[in-house]
Amino acid sequence: MPAAPGSGSNEQRDVYERQYSAQGDDARRYGAWRALCAANKADHVVELIAALPGPPRTLAEVGCGDGVLLAELARRGIGQARHGFDISERALAYAAGRPEIDVAERFDGAALPVADGAYDLGILAHVLEHVPDPLPLLRETARACRAVVVEVPLESNISASRPVAQAGRDAIGHLHRFSRDGVAELAADAGLGIVADVADPLPLAIHSFFAETPKDRAKALAKSTARRAAFTVAPRWAERTFTLHYAALLLPR
């Protein structure tokens, strides 16, 4: 998970500095988790940018964390120059060590140190739900990037309304529960429109990653299968019932 920019940057930065300081088996496990999630996010980016007039040459990921998504996009041949911005120095140290990333730069969570339209594509992947006020960050990313891919979990649903789900969101710093309409409204307020989108109930590999026992793995399989089936048959019902990951390509109106 990337470090979340915003008005609470100092506190948030400290949280993520601790997360990226894991050692030994914990560090390897969380690294594998971030790589798995990055592959899923990259699937969405690749699908969405097909709606652009041409492939993006310059990419900027805002809230890039350790740079694993940019590295995954590079492996898929996306972009010729890839820049990452984050508020966590420890995360950026990892990102800077990746040969696929040309620039890994710290910023203050508010203003990107680049000119207007500096990049073909900006990426905000699982960042906006962590930000106290998402609109300024989306506007700033759109200022610097001619197109923007946003990805958030759609947590405005029945399952995510449970107290145990709220406790889980609090633990990982989710400050907002987005709906599809909420993303569209946020985009419109930033002067952007959605030109392509994708919703995903997530693959079994993600649902089962932290399953330790045969019983846990069986539950993960049942959950993944049921959600995929429900989403296939009635996608909008699925959105209202359980959490999907939602990615959208935004362009200026």
Tell me if 101 is assigned to some domain. Answer: yes
Residue 216 domain-assigned (yes or no): no
- Domain range for residue 34? 9-201+243-252
| Rounded Cα–Cα distance for residues 106 and 83 (Å) | 11
What's the confidence (pLDDT) of residue 11? Answer: 54
Residue 170 lies in a domain: yes
For position 13, which CATH number holds?
A: 3.40.50.150
Provide the pLDDT for residue 116: 98
Q: What pTM, to 2 d.p., does this model score?
A: 0.91
**Cα angle value 193/238/209 (rounded, 5°):** 100
The answer to whether residue 168 sits within a structural domain is yes
Tokens for 155?
A: 């947590």
The encoded tokens of residue 32 equal: 């594998």
Provide the token pair at 176. 């907002």
Q: What is the pLDDT of residue 3?
A: 44
As for how many domains the chain has, the answer is: 1
- For residue 170, what are the contacts with CB-CB under 8 A and spacing of at least 6? none
**Domain annotation covers residue 191:** yes
Interval 6-18 mean pLDDT? 52
pLDDT at 213 over 80: yes
Domain-embedded: residue 208: no
**Identity at 61, one-letter amino acid code:** E
